[in-house]
């Protein structure tokens, strides 16, 4: 077979294994009975290792070396470079380490769920110690110049260093802390309209309506329940999201659906002809998060879209909302208030949750704190940044799934995603000023098309910072985000 054909076949084989890996993960978090944990861990470990072995195989190395001359070809170059990047990254990590990470995290996830349900950090502690140790091994294998965190961050956000994040986070922090104070001072008394029985079905239906309006293709995806909402793609034509619904309050699940839906639109928008190629992936996690948070916050929490949803909401929840006027509803939806759970945080205090995770992770990796000290460290930071006490581990250190998956160095991408989202949306509005009117009519497809054209359809052809430049003509900067917040909350 000719060389390029071999290259395509190898890429496809890797994708076919990863398809199964993704399903094993999805099922573990949605439907798998608890007894399945051990066999699942073994199967996941085996297949992740297999994919890794394929990526770094001698054959792959030979093919990539022989095709080096294609790397600047206008058509084949981007396909080649994305695959080469994956290879260069993967080849540094031993198969043994990949297998151990996969097995440990599969077991840790069940332990985390149990620890969270039982409010007992100690049930998760040993697993997390092992995962931190594995993360350090991974960082060593990948190499870094300043600190281990650099290596981990780079694997989620190619080209970005811990220092880069620190610079951006410092600017955000300097602006956020007084901004929160100013907004909170300006707010009156919080409308007590959400903490009541909203049931499950109506919330599910509203989420599905929003997903439909966003253009989420239900023939090429689905929504299920899980403890921690997530998006996972098996293929551009099979993209799954999950949500969780608290029947005793609104509107967590609507925005969870829009958030994951934003991720899903990205994955559904990746060209089908790239389904079996490394280039058929998102540019980075922050880029991914820019999409989810754009839909969740900039669209979902906007006066325009909410006013469009309002009649439907009043119809669905007559007992809860019929006596409420829209302005009260809007201000309650956009209420700014330090709170315990990151995924439920308003968009202004949200980044504070990220700063504290970033700092804790860094300290953990630099050996400044131990896993056993995490609950305490967490609670202190929450009190310092948010001014509130953490009543129990499930509302504190155990709230997020990420560490149980071995994802350390991941959290910063959320705040970077916020920054990126505003930058993208500002550009979209400049090019298509009618977008905000469309949104107010519930017509979300023009925005999806713009995002698909500029971002989704690019797959991993550009590095994230290249993508930001290509789409907005500027490098990543916090100005549009801070302007968006000020205009919305103080404007």
Gap between the Cα atoms of 211 and 245, Å rounded = 15
- Is 38 near its own copies (CB under 8 A)? yes
Q: By CB under 8 A, name the one of 10, 24, 153, 336 that touches its own copies.
A: 24
- Is 235 near its own copies (CB under 8 A)? yes
Sign of CA dihedral 216, 222, 225, 231: negative
Q: Which is nearer to its own copies, 10 or 462 (CB)?
A: 10
- Is 35 near its own copies (CB under 8 A)? yes
Q: Which is nearer to its own copies, 42 or 174 (CB)?
A: 42
Query: Closest separation between CB of residue 26 and its own copies, Å?
Result: 8
Gap between the Cα atoms of 288 and 318, Å rounded = 36
Residue 437 CA to its chain's centroid (Å): 28
- Is 40 near its own copies (CB under 8 A)? yes
Q: By CB under 8 A, name the one of 86, 100, 154, 238 that touches its own copies.
A: 238
Q: By CB under 8 A, name the one of 2, 5, 34, 58 that touches its own copies.
A: 34
Q: Which stretch binds its own copies (CB under 8 A): 39-47, 248-256, 310-318, 372-380?
A: 39-47
Q: By CB under 8 A, name the one of 4, 6, 8, 23 that touches its own copies.
A: 23
Phi, psi (degrees; rounded to nearest 5) at 232: -145, 140
- Is 217 near its own copies (CB under 8 A)? yes
Please work out the total of residues on this chain that contact its own copies, with binding judged by CB under 8 A.
37
For residues 422 and 481, the answer to whether their CB atoms sit within 8 Å is yes
- Is 376 near its own copies (CB under 8 A)? no
68 is catalytic: no
Q: Which stretch binds its own copies (CB under 8 A): 23-31, 60-68, 110-118, 286-294?
A: 23-31
Q: Which stretch binds its own copies (CB under 8 A): 63-71, 216-224, 336-344, 369-377?
A: 216-224
- Is 43 near its own copies (CB under 8 A)? yes
- Is 16 near its own copies (CB under 8 A)? yes
Residue by residue, what is the 3-state secondary structure of the chain? CCHHHHHHHHHHHHHHHHHHHHHHHHHHHHCCCHHHHHHHHHHHHHHHHHHHHHHCCHHHHHHHHHCHHHHHCCCHHHHHHHHHHHHHHHCCCCHHHHHHHHHHHHHHHHHHHHHHHHCCCHHHHHHHHHHHHHHHHHHHHHCCCCCHHHHHHHHHCCCCCHHHHHHHHHHHHHHHHHHHHHHHHHCCCCCCCCCCCCCCHHHHHHHHHHHHHHCCCHHHEEEEECCCCCEEEEECCEEEEEECCCCCCCCHHHHHHHHHHHHHHHHHCCCHHHCCCCCCCCCCHHHHHHHHHHHHHHHCCCHHHHHHHHHHHHHHCHHHHCCCCHHHHHHHHCCCCCCCCHHHCCCCCHHHHHHHHHHHHHHHHCCCCCHHHHHHHHHHHHHHHHCCCCCCHHHCCCCCCHHHHCCCCCCHHHHHHHHHHHHHHHHHHHHCCCHHHHHHCCCCHHHHHHHHHHCHHHCCCCCHHHHHHHHHCCCCCCHHHHHHHHHHHHC
**First-last CA distance in the chain:** 63
- Is 212 near its own copies (CB under 8 A)? no
- Is 234 near its own copies (CB under 8 A)? yes
Q: Which stretch binds its own copies (CB under 8 A): 63-71, 229-237, 287-295, 358-366?
A: 229-237
- Is 201 near its own copies (CB under 8 A)? no
Phi, psi (degrees; rounded to nearest 5) at 231: -120, 140
Query: Closest separation between CB of residue 50 and its own copies, Å?
Result: 8
Cα within 13 Å of Cα(159), Cβ side:
14
- Is 260 near its own copies (CB under 8 A)? no
- Is 222 near its own copies (CB under 8 A)? yes
Residue matched to tokens 């993360």: 135
Pick the catalytic residue: 260, 267, 296, 347? Answer: 260
- Is 221 near its own copies (CB under 8 A)? yes
Q: Which stretch binds its own copies (CB under 8 A): 28-36, 96-104, 301-309, 357-365?
A: 28-36
Q: Which stretch binds its own copies (CB under 8 A): 21-29, 248-256, 328-336, 382-390?
A: 21-29
Query: Closest separation between CB of residue 14 and its own copies, Å?
Result: 10
Query: Closest separation between CB of residue 113 and its own copies, Å?
Result: 13
Q: By CB under 8 A, name the one of 46, 225, 326, 330 that touches its own copies.
A: 46
- Is 57 near its own copies (CB under 8 A)? no
- Is 425 near its own copies (CB under 8 A)? no
- Is 39 near its own copies (CB under 8 A)? yes
- Is 32 near its own copies (CB under 8 A)? yes
* 265 to 294: interface string for its own copies, x by CB under 8 A: ----------xx------------------
**Active site amino acids:** 260
- By CB under 8 A, name the binding residues for its own copies: 12-13, 16-17, 19-21, 23-24, 27, 31-36, 38-40, 42-43, 45-47, 217-222, 224, 234-235, 237-238, 275-276
């Amino acid at each position: 077979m000719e060389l390029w054909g071999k290259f395509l076949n190898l890429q496809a084989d890797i994708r076919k294994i990863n398809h199964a890996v993704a399903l094993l993960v999805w099922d573990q978090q949605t439907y798998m009975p608890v007894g399945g944990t051990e066999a699942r861990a073994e199967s996941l470990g085996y297949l992740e290792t297999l994919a890794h072995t394929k990526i770094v195989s001698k054959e792959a190395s030979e093919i990539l070396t022989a095709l080096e001359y294609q790397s600047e070809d206008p058509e084949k170059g981007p396909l080649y470079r994305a695959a080469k990047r994956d290879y260069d990254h993967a080849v540094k990590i031993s198969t043994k380490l990949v297998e151990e990470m996969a097995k440990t995290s599969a077991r840790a996830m069940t332990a985390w769920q149990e620890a969270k349900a039982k409010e007992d950090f100690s049930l998760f502690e040993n697993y997390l110690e092992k995962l931190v140790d594995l993360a350090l091994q991974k960082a060593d294998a990948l190499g870094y110049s300043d600190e281990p965190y650099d290596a981990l961050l780079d694997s989620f956000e190619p080209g970005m260093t811990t220092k880069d994040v620190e610079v951006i986070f410092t600017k955000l922090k300097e602006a956020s802390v007084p901004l929160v104070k100013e907004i909170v001072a300006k707010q009156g008394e919080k409308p007590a309209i959400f903490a009541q029985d909203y049931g499950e079905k109506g919330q599910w239906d509203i989420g599905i309506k929003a997903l439909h309006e966003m253009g989420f293709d239900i023939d090429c995806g689905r929504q299920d329940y899980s403890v921690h909402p997530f998006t996972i793609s098996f293929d551009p034509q099979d993209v799954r999201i999950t949500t969780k619904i608290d029947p005793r309050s609104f509107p967590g699940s609507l925005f969870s659906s829009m958030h994951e839906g934003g991720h899903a639109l990205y994955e559904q928008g990746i060209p089908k002809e790239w389904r079996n190629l490394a280039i058929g992936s998102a540019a980075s996690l922050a880029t991914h998060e820019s999409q989810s948070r754009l839909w969740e916050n900039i669209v979902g929490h906007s006066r325009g879209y909410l006013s469009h949803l309002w009649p439907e909401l009043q119809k669905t929840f007559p007992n809860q909302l019929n006596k409420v006027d829209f302005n009260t509803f809007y201000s309650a939806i956009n209420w700014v208030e330090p709170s315990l759970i990151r995924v439920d945080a308003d968009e202004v205090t949200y980044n504070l949750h990220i700063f504290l995770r970033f700092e804790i992770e860094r300290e953990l990796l630099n050996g400044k704190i131990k896993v056993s000290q995490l609950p305490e460290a967490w609670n202190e930071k929450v009190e310092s940044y948010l001014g509130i006490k953490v009543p129990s581990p499930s509302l504190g250190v155990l709230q997020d799934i990420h560490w149980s998956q071995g994802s350390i160095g991941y959290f910063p991408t959320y705040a970077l995603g916020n920054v990126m989202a505003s930058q993208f949306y500002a550009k979209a509005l400049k090019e298509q000023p009618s977008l905000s009117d469309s949104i107010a009519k519930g017509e979300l497809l023009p925005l999806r098309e713009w995002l698909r054209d500029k971002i989704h359809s690019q797959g991993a052809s550009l590095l994230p910072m290249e993508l930001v430049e290509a789409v907005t003509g500027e490098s990543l900067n916090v100005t549009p985000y801070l302007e968006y917040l000020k205009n919305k909350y103080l404007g």
